[in-house]
Structure 1
């Protein structure tokens, strides 16, 4: 089944719309004076071997520009493989946003931390590095049994002030037994769960499951959380990776 989601197309549309509103001011050139990156993540990813995950880094530049340059990724941990990289351009009066999309493959089972990786860009006779922050990975062997299905979820949330994701999934129970969601597991410094539910899914039923988070430290501009859902059928426990949720903060100088 094709997954339904609120994705990066909508996210970038909102980003550009809000930036455009800011640039309608009498002195638009003061909004973006020089180029800069939004690239440093805090996050957690649970996934199966050979699953792919995308990280989006943003290069914001003044004026209308084209991307002429070369991009690479350096210092990935051994549990990850570089798969692909691409650039999407979004233009509006006074500025350009380049969405640099880094696709990674989960290479081998186990736990690892990505904390030294960066995007390197050779452009306009200069070399620039954009750190990708710190993301923990728990990589599992693919499951051979029947698991819960997640046919719809919210993939990305964007806002003008720092915040945390709200994990929202539509979960379908394929079993002829009631499923109890025991836990939603992830590790992101400064973020904790304050509520989640509903925790019971009737046989062959569907629920809209929401995990509400709070921040107990200084918030970050970029988050990715791809949690592990632990559930119980009768007395047996299972676990499965959920789809990712991204949270992106629009910089203060781009607020409407």
Structure 2
């Protein structure tokens, strides 16, 4: 996968892309990152990329020229259409399903804006996706682009050491992940559940599924509204509800 980032602050990405899983993904040949300062495509002597909005109002708006020119530069030698993603508080709320969708692409381009907003022609005629990472305001799209990149890259083949890790993560199955324990089995009187020490993998799988369902029921019940549950899961849910009552 190739990931291009358009940003006025390229140095913000150096630490994130140069550490941990994102760095290892490059070393394994799974992904290539490129961060471009789109100010170089401003086309004016002051390298200005923003201007006052028509009709008046507070703040500055990113001009269309530098963004269009930067995307054209990045795609002029490609034979396929990339996904062009606008990081924007008005966009689709990002989730695991979207991460899995984007992980199937060959080329992603992220546009990170600052100031008050984007010229609307960027939305209408250039981008394929508008994404928001939550209902809050950031100083720019860079942090959001980092979050989306991290969640997508870890899904690429062979990036994680254990291929099951991504599959069993919270939200991948639709449920929150079950509790985890490691050595020692007894720490200051706080003990690991006996079933995990039993060696009975069928019982362990049942325990994990039930705990995962319970954690989702207590913390994110809204997720259950979107799921098809098995008969066993439905029975467990009834048990949880009866205990609450």
TM-score interval w.r.t. the shorter chain? under 0.3
Q: Say which structure, 1 or 2, has more relative contact order (CA 8 Å, 6+ apart).
A: 1
* TM-score w.r.t. length of structure 1: 0.20
Rg larger in structure = 2
More strand by share: 1
* TM-score w.r.t. length of structure 2: 0.21
More helix by share: 2
